Structure 1
Amino acid sequence: MTAGYTDTRRCGRWLVWITAIAVLLWPALAAAHASLVASDPASEAVLATPPTSFSLTFNEPVTALLLQLIDARGRSQAITAIDQDGATLRFAPPAALGEGAHVLSWRVVSADGHPIGGALTFWIGTPGQRLPPIVVPDDPARRTAIWATRILAGFTLLTAVGGAAFLAWIAAAPVAGAALLTAGLALLGLLAVVLSAGLQGLDALDLPLARLGDAAVWRAGASGSFGDAAALSGMAFVLTLLALRWRGWNARLLSLGAVVSLGTAFAVSGHAATAEPRALSGAAVWLHGVSLALWIGALPLAIAVGRRDAAPATLRRFSKAIPLVIVMLLISGVALAAIELGRIDALWQSDYGRVLIAKLALVCVLLALALWNRVRLTPLLLAGEASAVRRMRASIVAELVLVIAILGVVGLWRFTPPPRSTASQPAAASEMVHLHTERAMATVTLAPARAGPVEIEVLLQTAEEAPLAAQALTVTLANPEAGIEPLSAEARKTADGPWRARLTAPVPGKWTLTLGILISDFEKVNLETPIVIR
């Protein structure tokens, strides 16, 4: 073994370790730096007359990305005429405001380029339960572009990463042309991932396709869980290209790192990745993506079957490994369906369920084709049947076409929230949840737990159930599906012990409640839990 080979192998192992560390630490890489310190009108304010001007004051200068005002009729109007005075944004209402509840949603970029957002509700006249029926705007051209780009990014990610793993772990000998094809798919996938980030930014800011070149669009697209998923996908493509460059254990380790990055990219964003219980749904999404990539990685097999020296050994290895992969794919898919549907009748009574039915139909055809390959074509090919090579290649091409169709159907979930996030349940007077970590615990009571003004009471304790003396407490409600930014309020400490805050949840659905507990000048604890606003 030469010194150069040893150095190359060591380099490959270091890259895999770096990938693993990056994946594990990824959630800690993003932190907002700017914050809203004052607003006029204040959150939850009740005004006798419509305001003639608004102001948002932050703790540092910011750049406005998107400001919109949702009036009492649910009409969303963008605010474009904004005056900036240091860290304060001032603007006038885009139209005359009537009585009732109004929601001001804002999204800005701090000085370091980190986008943050928030929303506040105020009332004109008498406060009540009637809230704006928020309608999320839609752009058909933008929707189609997002759908098509995600199909391309998903297909290239699965085939390139899976293909590299196949060549490194399954192929009995180097397959001429397969590495070049896989590298081409990886490069095409990188372009698709970059473009998808820009389209995500357009969607977040509600801008037309013509604004794709705006810097603010790309900053918005690179933020949040989607930006994390795009970066992890890019990492998977880069590791794939490196794995194709080397041989032996270097290629195996690098392809393994690419597979891990792919699974994590699937697990950090999307409906299923944020469903409860998160540990189960995240693991199921990760396993689903990885097993699908390992199956679809049979693309190089279409080339390998034409080589009499490598085909028999390669086919035997593939036939031995693929049943376990398919079992993992089916188990994770069933788990995700159960989590997202919540009830069996949602399978045919919701748009999400109908999309799932279409996907399952295509998956059944795909599995039937795979079974035919294994039971019928593989023995013929191993026996040296001349026509088996052509038939196997045609079958694998058909599988890939079906995969593209499945990705196209799955892409529709981007626009159809799962039933569990929109399930309507009987109204309740209040709801109590308990949150805890090793550093702090909290008992939270929401009254009433339905759309409209919500009184939130928080009792803070240490892990030993002793009173926790916190310096400050921030309460946040977030529901991205509602088309507005998160709502936050600073809680007030009462004389009898609990902290209290008041927020208005504009729409029913599944929300995320986050408590930001400032324990000392150097320590802050965040507690998070899903809640249902009915």
Structure 2
Amino acid sequence: MNVVDRRWSVRLGATAGLLVTLVALLLAPATPASAHAVLVSSSPVASAVVPEAPAEVVLTFSESVRKVTGKIRVIAPDGSRADRGEPTFEGAVVTVPVDRAGPRGTYLVSYRVISADSHPVSGAFTYSVGAPSPPPTDSGSDSRANPVVDTGVKVAKYLGYVGLLLVSGAALVLAALWPQRLARRGPARVLWAGAGLLAAATVAELWLQVPYTAGGGPFDVTGAGFGEVLGSTYGTAHLVRLGLLAAAAFLLRPLTRGPVGRSDGIILAVLGAAALLTWPLSGHAAASPAPAVSVLVDAVHLGGMAVWLGGLVMLGGFLLRRADERELGAILPIWSRWAALAVAALLLAGTVQALIEVGGLAALLDTTYGRLLLAKIVLFALVVGVAAYSRALVRRRTAAGRPTPVRRAVWVELAITAVVLGVSATLVQTTPARVAAADVAGAPGGYFSTTLSSPIYSLQVELDPAERGNNSLHLYAYTKDNRPQPVAEWKATAALPSAGIEPIEIPLLPLTDNHATGEVSFPAAGEWQLRLTVRTSDIDQATVTATVSIK
């Protein structure tokens, strides 16, 4: 095959890969970008006591969510299933039909859904019909992540990053910096190893996403579950990545044999830039408050990392060992400028990314995501310091004659950045700090609810918002067999002994025979002591106490 025919076959293969990518994009579901979903409200409200059984349970999340088949359940007080039929999903609202003929007592609602950034969101809460009872258990709704799957997802993402930087570094150096006199066999092996690693990691991520979202072990993968993953934005982004990698392979092969033409180089650069976008489109960035900005800066961040670290691998593994003094004198200043641009892009994109995903200083210090980000910043500062040292060697023009100091600095950079990649792989699997710091749950933040028992009644106590300032107190009295208990007289006091605050009487207003409410103002934070007295007849009376943490 002559040179012209070979170039046409290369471009035909690249075009075929692009067509596969375009088909995957056209078949992708149109889902709106949204944040890492959390449950913001429910009906009935968590821990509420309702007089009659509801016909449905409504879950409202912070953003749109997707279904995980069979993972939304309502368990009756006797342990039986109370949900009837499939729940309906309308954006952020999930409606679960419930059997109204169920027994009185406490019901358990457990859920597991998928947020827009591909992460599972699970949890549970209770509500009571008529009166509280011992809550049931649901053996079929274990929301804990399988440790093998959880670790496997992080490892696959890490290997994907490694594959990306190997492909990027080898392709960049072979296209622009590789001396013509040197054989390309070694860098070619690195390039194909990186491409194979990237493809395998992408397939592994698709496979593991099934048990990761639905729960289960690494081999608990069904056709239906795999179909749901492939039909999601996450699956589409990974399929597009594989298609772009296949298209790029047709252009990478001639690059391993010699220089390629300008047009082929431009096509390869476009394919690489498009592939970079598949990472943020399948993660937190696409679900941030500013998705367009987040996707762009995340792709720039990833691209800067790939150019910098991939170039370091090629520099330390090949060029500093094989190139002569004259060649290094020409190569190292160019590489130094590239590295400086890549680091600048990393810093700028990382700063914007952190501002979006963290949102504030408290979230940076008080969340797992924030602490991981701080660790990444410290490691990055160390590696930038080492990089600055090696760049100084290049500027003094000592590297060409004595490349050993530069080679050592390069390997130190790579050792530290290997840890940075591990932190990054964990970071993308962690709830963003802006979400974790919000502390959103099924009930308002600080909401206090408990059930107190006495020899003659049980008392449901609800305090909202359990913070300094004005609070609403609700009391519900029940008999020992969970029937509404008529109350003749209510009394309540609040005290803070640690601050010397004596008992403050709380005026109570009876709303029904067994329900009373009142307003109380807590002037200071601390462990407040509630003392509640309920008289059920002329002679029957009992007092119960509760400790409430007021923030």
TM-score normalised by length of structure 2: 0.58
1:139 maps to 2:146? yes
1:297 to 310, 315, 320: 310
1:165 maps to 2:172? yes
| TM superposition shift of 1:138 | 2.0
Residue of structure 2 equivalent to 1:529: none
| TM superposition shift of 1:217 | 4.4
8 A Cα contact 1:262 1:290, kept in partner: no
C-alpha distance in 1 between matches for 2:14 and 2:128: 63
C-alpha distance in 2 between matches for 1:373 and 1:162: 18
Secondary structure of 1:67 counterpart = coil
What whole-Å deviation, never above 9, does each CA across 1:240-272 have from its counterpart, x for those lacking one?
A: 433321233365234313421332112202223
What whole-Å deviation, never above 9, does each CA across 1:91-148 have from its counterpart, x for those lacking one?
A: 999x9995457366689xxxxxxxxx999999873799xx999984222222112112
Secondary structure of 1:297 counterpart = helix
Paired amino acid for 2:280: A
C-alpha distance in 2 between matches for 1:391 and 1:31: 53
Residue of structure 2 equivalent to 1:237: 245
What whole-Å deviation, never above 9, does each CA across 1:339-370 have from its counterpart, x for those lacking one?
A: 11111232212111100011111111221122
1:307 to 304, 307, 323: 323
1:227 to 225, 235, 238: 235
8 A Cα contact 2:106 2:131, kept in partner: no
| TM superposition shift of 1:152 | 1.0
Q: Any residues of structure 2 matched to 1:69-218 within 5 Å, and which?
A: 69-71=72-74, 98-100=105-107, 102=109, 125=129, 136-173=143-180, 176=184, 177-212=186-221, 214-218=222-226
Residue of structure 2 equivalent to 1:372: 389
Secondary structure of 2:333 counterpart = helix
C-alpha distance in 2 between matches for 1:145 and 1:336: 26
8 A Cα contact 1:226 1:269, kept in partner: yes
Paired amino acid for 1:29: A
1:264 to 272, 277, 281: 277
C-alpha distance in 1 between matches for 2:12 and 2:327: 29
8 A Cα contact 2:171 2:191, kept in partner: yes
8 A Cα contact 1:65 1:216, kept in partner: no
C-alpha distance in 1 between matches for 2:422 and 2:440: 36
C-alpha distance in 1 between matches for 2:173 and 2:131: 62
Unaligned 5+ segments in structure 2 are 32-41, 45-49, 58-66, 87-96, 115-120, 255-259, 442-464, 466-551
C-alpha distance in 2 between matches for 1:332 and 1:73: 50
C-alpha distance in 1 between matches for 2:398 and 2:375: 33
C-alpha distance in 1 between matches for 2:421 and 2:80: 34
C-alpha distance in 1 between matches for 2:17 and 2:282: 23
8 A Cα contact 1:243 1:250, kept in partner: no
Q: Which has the larger radius of gyration?
A: 2
Residue of structure 2 equivalent to 1:485: none
1:278 to 258, 278, 291: 291
Residue of structure 2 equivalent to 1:468: none
8 A Cα contact 1:186 1:237, kept in partner: yes
Identity %: 21
8 A Cα contact 1:288 1:333, kept in partner: yes
1:288 maps to 2:296? no
The change in CA–CA distance for 1:48 and 1:252 in structure 2 (over 3 A counts) is same
Secondary structure of 1:211 counterpart = coil
Residue of structure 1 equivalent to 2:8: 7
8 A Cα contact 1:288 1:329, kept in partner: yes
Unaligned 5+ segments in structure 1 are 33-42, 55-63, 84-89, 108-116, 428-449, 451-534
2:361 to 331, 340, 344: 344
8 A Cα contact 2:363 2:434, kept in partner: no
8 A Cα contact 1:352 1:416, kept in partner: yes
C-alpha distance in 2 between matches for 1:294 and 1:77: 57
The change in CA–CA distance for 1:365 and 1:182 in structure 2 (over 3 A counts) is same
1:320 maps to 2:337? yes
C-alpha distance in 1 between matches for 2:440 and 2:169: 46
C-alpha distance in 2 between matches for 1:186 and 1:210: 25
Paired amino acid for 1:410: S
Secondary structure of 2:361 counterpart = coil
Residue of structure 2 equivalent to 1:252: 265
Compare 177-186 and 225-234 and name the one that shifted more. 225-234
Q: Any residues of structure 2 matched to 1:352-367 within 5 Å, and which?
A: 352-367=369-384
8 A Cα contact 2:301 2:350, kept in partner: yes
| TM superposition shift of 1:190 | 1.1
C-alpha distance in 1 between matches for 2:429 and 2:81: 22
The change in CA–CA distance for 1:126 and 1:13 in structure 2 (over 3 A counts) is same
1:418 to 420, 432, 442: 432
TM-score normalised by length of structure 1: 0.59
C-alpha distance in 2 between matches for 1:149 and 1:220: 20
C-alpha distance in 1 between matches for 2:285 and 2:438: 19
C-alpha distance in 2 between matches for 1:120 and 1:291: 41
| TM superposition shift of 1:323 | 1.7
| TM superposition shift of 1:228 | 2.7
Residue of structure 2 equivalent to 1:30: 29
Secondary structure of 2:431 counterpart = coil
What whole-Å deviation, never above 9, does each CA across 1:41-70 have from its counterpart, x for those lacking one?
A: xx979995599x99xxxxxxxxx9730244
The change in CA–CA distance for 1:342 and 1:408 in structure 2 (over 3 A counts) is same
Secondary structure of 2:29 counterpart = coil
Secondary structure of 2:69 counterpart = strand
The change in CA–CA distance for 1:105 and 1:362 in structure 2 (over 3 A counts) is closer
Residue of structure 1 equivalent to 2:420: 406
Secondary structure of 1:417 counterpart = coil
| TM superposition shift of 1:276 | 1.3
| TM superposition shift of 1:175 | 5.3
Paired amino acid for 1:400: L
The change in CA–CA distance for 1:217 and 1:169 in structure 2 (over 3 A counts) is farther
Q: Any residues of structure 2 matched to 1:440-451 within 5 Å, and which?
A: none
The change in CA–CA distance for 1:146 and 1:178 in structure 2 (over 3 A counts) is same
Compare 118-127 and 158-167 and name the one that shifted more. 118-127
Count of residue pairs the alignment pairs up: 385
